[in-house]
Amino acid sequence: MKKEIDGILVEAVQGDIASQTDIEAVVNAANAELLPGGGVAGALHKAAGPELADAGAPFSPISPGEAVITNAFNLPNHYVIHCLGPVHGIDRPEEKLLRDCYVNALRKAEEKEVKSIAFPSISTGAFGYPLEEAVRTALPAVRELLGELRSVSHIRFVLFSKQDLTAYERFLESEY
Ligand code: AR6
């Protein structure tokens, strides 16, 4: 589904974050070392090639809530914005740390004058954050920044499963 808010296109789709050919910056649900892993990080590093880990090395390790930006190498995008989400039940305060990921990723995108950005559902895989709770943090965090964005005019949430997409769509329809 798509919505236009404050002149910004906000959409949620089901898909693979490594295949967003029309998007300038993709967000990685990274590990602290900015190395290949499973899930989103695995898919992005595999598609980008080994240069992505080399580009992340000078920033490593990053802290929960932090975002750093690198080139995207063989991905069909210009940039990867690497965010370390909180591990559910361990990194606290987890809601703030998850929120920081989205806010800091958008700030990095604005610094590079990025026009379009795609987010995966940070922390809701290996890091165990319940999807419904993550939706109620991620979507308001982005919503509150929309009015401040000068460069970003297209925000896409890329969900791996139909069930996750439905949760995003419900929130976008009723609360946005
Ligand atoms: N495209 C879009 N979404 C995906 C993809 C994909 N290719 N693959 C998985 N998802 P996760 P986290 C969904 O585990 O919880 C890594 O090993 C997945 O179903 O990628 O932040 C890193 O190295 C889930 O809904 O990220 C870290 O150690 C969501 O993306 C750790 O996992 C996030 O799942 C980060 O864990």
What CATH number did the domain enclosing 81 receive?
A: 3.40.220.10
Q: Given the CA of residue 164, which atom of ligand 1 is nearest to it?
A: 25
Model pTM score: 0.98
- At 41-61, the pLDDT tens digits run 999 999 999 999 999 999 999
Positions of the chain with pLDDT under 50: none
Structural domain including 170 reads 2-175
pLDDT for the residue 176: 86
Domain total in the chain: 1
Burial class (CB in 10 A: 0-12, 13-18, 19+), 158: buried
> Using a 6 Å CB cutoff, which residues line ligand 1?
16-18, 29, 31, 37-41, 43, 85, 120-127, 158, 160, 164
The dihedral of CA 25, 12, 146, 8: what is its sign?
Answer: positive
